[in-house]
A and B are shown apart, each in its own frame.
Chain A
Amino acid sequence: MAEVLARLDDVHVHFPVREGLLLPREVARVRAVDGVSLSIHKGEVVGLVGESGSGKSTTGRALLRLQDVTAGRVHFAGLDITQLRRHELQAIRRRMTVVFQDPEASCNPRMRIGDAVAEPLRVHERLTAEQRRSKVASLLDQVGLDGGLAQRWPHELSGGQRQRVGIARALATDPDLIVLDEPISALDVSIQAQVLNLLDDLRHQRGLSYLFIAHDLGAVAHLCDRVAVMYLGRVVEQGPVGDIIEAPLHPYTQALLRSVPLLDPVAAHARGLQVLDGEIPSPMAPPSGCAFHPRCRNVVANCRQNRPELLTVGARSVACPVLTQTPQLPIAS
């Protein structure tokens, strides 16, 4: 297998909730990310899925060092970057970039498209104006945009075009890894397919790695090699995307996949809507034991007491004691 490019080691991100005007004291803690370990290999696309509030975006931000971690380590390209200071991160930032969900929010409305794409080049590379212009034109071309758009303003572009600009900007410094935080959720259906194909092409042309944060499981199945399923700040199951989509093991992964509507009215009618009751609990007061136990069908007494660890089952790992204790499953350790 290819070398590990980025790795999160038991990463925790907690946000203190403070009360009091003069001497604020911590009254509670939001455990947004609560012990996530995840690695991304060179050239690999790892999907991160889960409901809102599961901590998937915060995990992506921790990897990018846009968010300081409370505990645990963040590694990138063989380097421990957990404690790097701002200026030390400069070299890392060009190799690890990000595309956000809302293309509107990531384009400065007062900056022409060409300047927006050139901005990372200004920060990171010493180029003449002429070199920069030709690089911008080539980047726009690579994401399927007309070079003439460089002179236009963000409001003159459609949502799909703006998202392509976001991707061009993320590519500007020739990164190794791009964190894609829900890059297609805000786009029209016919545009989503265009952007997914573009991401797939770029990845193969440039040997890129992605951390693809998404809630659309169809898109995840399409783009990813491996997928990690998060629930309330922890990974409950991870493994090859085929295994997880075809035969999910964790009761939460199963429920999440069952909630996805079928694309066939005959099958949809026969099966009906599959509903997982309840909502994701507050990360301020996570349930005891397995965080999923209040919504789980297979719950046993032990689930309420002990927090399950991720155990290796074949090519994947699952955090469910009921499952990993079932004798017919092949368990490796």
Chain B
Amino acid sequence: MTPALEVDSLAVIFAGEREPITAVEDVSLSVAKGRTLCVVGESGSGKSVSLLAMMGLLDPRRSTVQARNLRLGGVDLLGLPAAQRRALNGDRLAMVFQDPMTSLNPYLSIATQLTEVLEVHRKLPRAAAVPQAIAMLSAVGISAPERRMRAYPHELSGGMRQRVVLAMALLCHPDVLLADEPTTALDVTIQAQVLQLIQQQQANTGMAVVLVTHDMGVVAHMADDVAVLYGGLVVERAAVRDLFATPQHPYTQALLASIPSKGQRNQRLHVIAGSPPSPLSRPPGCVFAPRCAFAIDRCLTARPAETALGDGRTVRCIRHAELARG
């Protein structure tokens, strides 16, 4: 089956002040219809930039996006003229950001912002768009949607704004929803509400979801598959259960071990020493080697390639075979 969204060997290079900055070095991802791919990574890992590149939202004057392949369904996005590609955004491919105010215009009413989507993509007159917008607000759990249509963003709570943004993204029933930390700024209670909405919409329409998060609990609940990003590279890809049960990359292992859970009190937390590398100064060998407990000399000199382990599982570590044997 054709994946709903697929990118192969994505690289994003920004024009820096002195020299080019490679934010994303080698990222390959794919997500099938009705499935959820979670992309996990820390700041500087390139997860947000990868999403922006897939949406075509990076400024071509300041950045270079390269990929062997970038396809939405059967459509080759890289070969598409800019105007046609833009027409797909918000229609077949939609995105939700961490801060809802990124996508909301403070000067416009909710009604204007929602109906605009249908006016542009569906060529609907406003009068015809209003009932659809109201129905979508109600579908994302906003009470009294007719009244909320007249509201302005500042009159809504953070959780409610994120629902409005989600409603906006879902209005055209996109094939793929890209969500960049959509619940990070929200309370756990509101996070659960928003995640459940995404699940429900996915069940109704069969859309594919790419969810960027740093919360492994969110991953456990939402993901079918997981890609772990570190230093601009996918270091491990696996089905969610495999990733939690038998993490292969030392970074994934350490990350899972470092999370405090309510089950383990008064235990010392496992710690990954040091901090994630800045895109300005990535180490020459394996990007994780300076923080890795298992690094040997060879790790410091050459970038490991992505090794396929079967069932779509990959790992980027030269020692994974010997480490897996213990």
A-to-B contact residues, CB < 8 Å: 51-52, 158-161, 188-194, 196-197, 200, 215-219, 221-222, 241-242, 245, 255-257, 259-269, 272-277, 279-280
A257 to B217 alpha-carbon distance, docked (Å) = 13
Q: Are A242 and B265 in contact (CB under 8 A)?
A: yes
Q: Are A51 and B189 in contact (CB under 8 A)?
A: yes
**Complex interface: stretch among B103-111, B130-138, B193-201:** B193-201
- When C-beta atoms are compared, the residue in chain A nearest to B226 turns out to be A265
Residues of chain B from 98 to 124 with CB closer than 8 A to chain A in the complex: none
- When C-beta atoms are compared, the residue in chain B nearest to A246 turns out to be B262
A257 to B188 alpha-carbon distance, docked (Å) = 9
- When C-beta atoms are compared, the residue in chain A nearest to B243 turns out to be A265
Interface of chain A, main secondary structure: helix
Q: Are B271 and A194 in contact (CB under 8 A)?
A: yes
Q: Are A265 and B241 in contact (CB under 8 A)?
A: yes
**Complex interface: stretch among B55-63, B80-88, B253-261, B299-307:** B253-261
Checking A196, A242, A255, A261 against B217 with a beta-carbon cut-off of 8 angstroms, the contacting residue is: A261
Q: Are A217 and B188 in contact (CB under 8 A)?
A: yes
- When C-beta atoms are compared, the residue in chain B nearest to A264 turns out to be B220
The smallest C-beta distance from A30 to any residue of chain B, in angstroms, reads 15
Does B73 touch A at the CB level, under 8 Å?
no
A38 to B219 alpha-carbon distance, docked (Å) = 36
Residues on A with beta carbons closer than 8 Å to the beta carbon of B240:
265
Contacts A191-B275, A256-B188 given: A268-B221 contact, CB under 8 Å? yes
Does B15 touch A at the CB level, under 8 Å?
no
- Shortest Cβ-Cβ A-B pairs, 7 listed: A261-B217, A193-B258, A222-B260, A188-B42, A268-B220, A221-B262, A193-B269
- When C-beta atoms are compared, the residue in chain A nearest to B158 turns out to be A52
The smallest C-beta distance from B12 to any residue of chain A, in angstroms, reads 20
A275 to B195 alpha-carbon distance, docked (Å) = 10
A219 to B159 alpha-carbon distance, docked (Å) = 23
Q: Are B42 and A190 in contact (CB under 8 A)?
A: yes
A315 to B188 alpha-carbon distance, docked (Å) = 27
A7 to B244 alpha-carbon distance, docked (Å) = 43
Residues on A with beta carbons closer than 8 Å to the beta carbon of B259:
189, 193, 218, 263
Residues on A with beta carbons closer than 8 Å to the beta carbon of B218:
261
A275 to B265 alpha-carbon distance, docked (Å) = 25
Would you give 15 A-B contacts (Cβ < 8 Å), ordered by A?
A189-B258, A191-B275, A192-B260, A218-B262, A259-B189, A259-B192, A260-B217, A261-B217, A265-B240, A268-B220, A268-B221, A276-B192, A277-B193, A279-B160, A279-B190
Residues on B with beta carbons closer than 8 Å to the beta carbon of A275:
189, 192-193, 196
A191 to B44 alpha-carbon distance, docked (Å) = 13
Residues on A with beta carbons closer than 8 Å to the beta carbon of B261:
218, 221, 263
- When C-beta atoms are compared, the residue in chain A nearest to B272 turns out to be A190
Q: Are B189 and A276 in contact (CB under 8 A)?
A: yes
The smallest C-beta distance from A154 to any residue of chain B, in angstroms, reads 15
Does B215 touch A at the CB level, under 8 Å?
yes
Checking B192, B254, B264 against A274 with a beta-carbon cut-off of 8 angstroms, the contacting residue is: B192
A272 to B199 alpha-carbon distance, docked (Å) = 10
Q: Are A273 and B195 in contact (CB under 8 A)?
A: yes
- When C-beta atoms are compared, the residue in chain A nearest to B268 turns out to be A197
Residues of chain B from 147 to 184 with CB closer than 8 A to chain A in the complex: 157-160
- When C-beta atoms are compared, the residue in chain B nearest to A276 turns out to be B189
Residues on B with beta carbons closer than 8 Å to the beta carbon of A200:
268
- When C-beta atoms are compared, the residue in chain A nearest to B278 turns out to be A158
Residues on B with beta carbons closer than 8 Å to the beta carbon of A189:
42, 214-216, 255, 258-259
Contacts A190-B42, A190-B255, A193-B259 given: A261-B276 contact, CB under 8 Å? no
Q: Are B220 and A188 in contact (CB under 8 A)?
A: no
Does B270 touch A at the CB level, under 8 Å?
yes
The smallest C-beta distance from A43 to any residue of chain B, in angstroms, reads 15
- When C-beta atoms are compared, the residue in chain A nearest to B251 turns out to be A190
The smallest C-beta distance from B83 to any residue of chain A, in angstroms, reads 38
A291 to B90 alpha-carbon distance, docked (Å) = 40
Residues on A with beta carbons closer than 8 Å to the beta carbon of B24:
none
Residues on A with beta carbons closer than 8 Å to the beta carbon of B265:
221-222, 241-242, 245
Checking A159, A221, A262 against B260 with a beta-carbon cut-off of 8 angstroms, the contacting residue is: A221
A276 to B141 alpha-carbon distance, docked (Å) = 12
Q: Are B241 and A266 in contact (CB under 8 A)?
A: yes
A267 to B216 alpha-carbon distance, docked (Å) = 13
Residues on A with beta carbons closer than 8 Å to the beta carbon of B219:
265
Q: Are A190 and B276 in contact (CB under 8 A)?
A: yes
Q: Are B244 and A265 in contact (CB under 8 A)?
A: yes
